A and B are shown apart, each in its own frame.
Chain A
Amino acid sequence: MSRTSWIGSAGSTDPAGTPAVTASESEPTVVPTGTTAAAKGGWRARLVTPQLPWRIVFVVVIAVGVIAPYVLDPAFRLPLFTKYLCYAIVGIGIGLAWGHGGMLTLGQGLFVGLGGYSMGMYLKLHDAGPGKVPDFMDWSGVEKLPAFWEPFRSPVVAIAAVIILPIVVATLLGLLVFRQRVRGAYFAILTQALAAAFVILLIGQQGYTGGTNGLTNFSGFFGIDTYADAGHRTLYFITAGVLLVIFLLLRLVVASRFGRLLLAIRDGEDRVRFLGYDPTVIKTIAFAISAVTASVGGALIVPVVGIVNPGMLDIVPSIELVIAVAVGGRYSLAGAIIGAVVVNWARSTFSEDYPSAWTYFQGALFIGVIAFLPRGLAGLLKQLRDGGPALMRKLGIKPPSRPTPPTAPPAVAPAGDQAVVVPEQGAPRQEAV
């Protein structure tokens, strides 16, 4: 396994790091030199930074996001798009756990379900009115509300449960499993088994959970009419806002010291351990964060699609989310969003007309992305950029050294360049004998 874990990270040493590295490393250099640049009267120097393209893209995406609900057909396309954004929220958590932490979680359906059912239970009880049981319980002959449903009458409890339940479950599982150094494929299988068990439990407890049908027929969502066009727009803005906040928060997490440690654990857990850190705690926290994002995504998807049922949480949708993240780029948080939106959009577009062909295409997508595009769409640009120098190197031509950022002091820049570039090409190959 030692062999495998290092090779496994061979393609992955850099991509996650680089956005974070450029962000965090250039920040301190920009600030002091920025003043001198300003003193020279160069407002352009402050504007044209290495992050400029990224910022432009960010602004464009936000603009498109604001315009979208007024362009898309509010009755059909807009709710679909909102649904993709919910998946993107789940995907971003997978990106953190898998791309940054090396923890492949195949059971995010469990956390989506915890959030979705918490929200669904509240909405159901809200519709039923005080003292009454939800309609499906009537049909199953359950007359008295089960004790674990009772707290969900309160919206505060329901929203708190969306946050707290996944943290509790993920922390418990994480501590138990990571403490014993169960990782890699073992962890993936365990999460998958947990999601499967959860789904079987939900289906089996027909009277308490609505069984295969799940919870549905909600009349509204906190006063929003989920059947009206205006309601669709409101839901869209809520979802998009939550996605934006989570994205920005997780960017901070990734760029922080904690994020660097997480990357370090992914690439060499034992080395981090030898340095005196406790990987168990760090991995558990990262896993819990990804669980919460999944749960929030699950809670938001309930009013959007108007239903939460076990079929949405099973192994298959869980692993499809993972592959969507892989398509977008597992090492980049933005990639996870792109992947979730693109793959789900492609699914609804193609499977409307060719359900069987879509399955083939999806299978081929799994294989193709893993085989040819391990960094996903987000890595495609990087791959193109690195392709030229790599080809030159292969041909024995010395590529011109990359120009150092003008703001960085010359003594620091090559060192920083080394730290980023060398491990990405040299180190894994050496160790992967």
Chain B
Amino acid sequence: MNGFLNQLPIGLSIGAVLLLAALGLTFTFGQMGVINMAHGEFIMVGAYTTYMLQSWAGHNAVIAALPVAFVVAGLFGVILERTLIRRFYGRPLDTLLLTWGVSLILQQLVRDLIDNRGVQVVAPDWLIGGADLGGIRIPYNRVYIFCLAAVCLVGIWFYMSRTPAGRRMRAVMQNRELAACSAVRTDRVDQITFFIGSGLAGVAGVALTLVGTVSPTLGTKYIVDAFLVVVVGGLGQLRGALIAAFALGLLNSYVEFWSNASLAKVIVFVAIVAFLQARPQGMFVLRSRALT
């Protein structure tokens, strides 16, 4: 029973990272129809930013890096959007391959410029260890990751539902042409969405430095799962991404606990295909009269 409950913080923190990664994807996919495979590399950019800051901020790099990683990864995203992706709106499959090429280049850059193998980020003292809660061990770093995701989620929710900029973003997502007719500068909104989405991936990267080595292929490990969250949650859906991310995170960690790691992915995949039988568009669907 303890083993069962001990798995909970792990599953929740995996879900938190997936959520941070998937939020950016679900908005860029939902709003612009862009499949950004380089999104995983923005996670990596965030993680390496933390590593670089470590020499300057010491063990508290995981705090100092949060805003920096957000901005750095966000800028990467905007540059990518401005230079390449913008030209391919409406061709989702092509953007997928295109951004995969970008991700190859980014990974190789890191290998050549920083380190071929993984690097380690040292966690501050107050994040090492954990609390005992009635026999269940709750590691502090997992709590930190969970809180990080919660704060980001509340921030995004506030931005989207309470600010004029967020309203414009929702408008573009729901009907681009109509939004453009109503004097919303859709290209500006696209840029901001890309900035925020990529920035959140950077934050996910900061979180990941706490639970493992930082390597050039860090992003590829999470990108597929993050896309599955988008598929299950529904396009551009905050609620959907939230539920799907934690469902996938928990499912992953529990199936792994009961069977073994190699079988877990297969079972999760079967579960997702089964889920899509019931709701092919994902959990929540943007209502529209469009045919496809």
Spell out A's residues near B (CB within 8 Å). 1-5, 7-8, 104, 106, 173, 176-177, 180-182, 184-186, 188-190, 192-194, 196-198, 200-205, 269-270, 315-316, 319, 322-323, 326, 356, 359-360, 362-367, 370-371, 374, 432
Contacts and interface: CB of A to CB of B under 8 A. Distances in A.
Nearest to B259: A204
B273 A364 contact: no
A196 B263 CA distance: 12
Task: Give the 3 A-B residue pairs with the shortest CB-CB distance, closest first.
Answer: A204-B262, A366-B101, A180-B280
A3 B97 contact: no
29 contacts: A1-B290, A3-B90, A4-B92, A8-B90, A106-B96, A180-B280, A184-B93, A185-B93, A189-B228, A189-B230, A189-B231, A190-B231, A193-B225, A193-B228, A193-B269, A196-B224, A198-B266, A200-B262, A200-B266, A201-B262, A270-B292, A323-B97, A323-B101, A359-B108, A360-B108, A363-B102, A363-B105, A367-B84, A370-B88
Contacts of B280: 180-182
Interface in B34-75: 35
A197 B269 contact: yes
A105 to B, nearest CB: 11
Nearest to B116: A356
B261 A4 contact: no
Given A270-B292, A323-B97, A370-B97, A201 B263 contact: yes
A322 B97 contact: yes
A182 B87 contact: no
Nearest to B106: A363
Contacts of A363: 101-105, 108
Contacts of A322: 97
Interface of B: 29, 33, 35, 84, 87-88, 90-94, 96-98, 100-105, 107-108, 111-112, 220, 224-225, 227-228, 230-231, 260-263, 265-266, 268-269, 272-273, 276-277, 280, 290-292
A288 B186 CA distance: 41
Contacts of A186: 231
Residue in B230, B263, B273 with the greatest tally of chain A CB atoms within 10 Å:
B273
Given A8-B93, A184-B93, A197-B269, A362 B101 contact: yes
Given A201-B263, A363-B101, A367-B84, A188 B273 contact: no
B21 to A, nearest CB: 14
Given A205-B262, A366-B101, A367-B84, 15 more contacts: A5-B292, A7-B90, A104-B93, A177-B276, A180-B276, A185-B96, A188-B93, A190-B276, A196-B265, A315-B220, A315-B224, A319-B100, A322-B97, A356-B108, A360-B108
B272 A193 contact: yes
Nearest to A189: B227
Given A189-B228, A365-B101, A366-B97, A176 B35 contact: no
B108 A8 contact: no
A204 B260 contact: yes
Contacts of A371: 84, 87-88, 98
- Main SS class of interface, A: helix
B84 A201 contact: no
A366 B35 CA distance: 15
A224 B265 CA distance: 38
B105 A193 contact: no
A269 B94 contact: no
A165 to B, nearest CB: 15
Contacts of B291: 2, 270
B135 to A, nearest CB: 30
Contacts of A356: 108, 111-112
B83 to A, nearest CB: 10
Contacts of A188: 35, 93, 96
A201 B276 CA distance: 22
Contacts of A374: 94
A200 B94 CA distance: 27
B224 A193 contact: yes
B285 to A, nearest CB: 12
Nearest to A357: B108
Contacts of B107: 359
A366 B106 CA distance: 13
B90 A177 contact: no
B29 to A, nearest CB: 7
A184 B29 CA distance: 12
Contact of A176 (B93, B268, B273): B273
Given A4-B90, A194-B269, A204-B261, A367 B33 contact: no
A173 B266 CA distance: 13
Residue in B107, B108, B225 with the greatest tally of chain A CB atoms within 10 Å:
B108
Contact of A366 (B100, B261, B265): B100
A356 B220 CA distance: 18
Contacts of A200: 261-262, 265-266
A3 to B, nearest CB: 6
A197 B263 CA distance: 8
Nearest to A362: B104
A180 B262 contact: no
Nearest to A7: B90
Contacts of B273: 173, 176-177, 190
Contacts of B268: 197
A196 B280 CA distance: 21
B104 A359 contact: yes
B101 A4 contact: no
A8 B92 contact: yes
A184 B92 contact: yes
Contacts of B112: 356
A46 B92 CA distance: 45
Contacts of A316: 220
A268 to B, nearest CB: 9
A102 B256 CA distance: 35
Nearest to A184: B92
A269 B291 CA distance: 11
A1 B288 CA distance: 11
A192 B225 CA distance: 10
Residue in B92, B93, B224, B269 with the greatest tally of chain A CB atoms within 10 Å:
B93
Contacts of A362: 101, 104
B269 A1 contact: no
